[in-house]
Amino acid sequence: MTWFTVDTRYTDDDALLQAARPAHRDFLRAMVDSGQVLAAGPWADGLGGFFVVRVEDRAELDRILAADPYTTGGVAAARVVREWNIVLGNGA
């Protein structure tokens, strides 16, 4: 299993963000409850959000991101995905 960080920049359309946010949070909450997502939340400036997820490989992550309501709802304007080697703390 591999950890990835996902940094998402939101669209400037606040109505799209507000419409998709509840479904996006429910989507991530299921993965938090299963231990697949370590942590998730928006940046304090409101311009985007970040989460840490454990998956089999990048292909699995791509499938998850494709199903994310922020993707299907047009909220995710850009994403930076990086593989993360956790050596200390939860998930190490």
pLDDT at 46: 94
Q: Which CATH architecture has domain 2-84?
A: 2-Layer Sandwich (3.30)
Examine the pLDDT at 92 and tell me if it is beyond 80: no
Q: pTM (2 decimals)?
A: 0.93
Domain ranges of the chain: 2-84
pLDDT digits (tens, 9 = 90+) for 4-58: 999 999 999 999 999 999 999 999 999 999 999 999 999 999 999 999 999 999 9
Distance in Å from the first CA to the final CA of the chain = 11
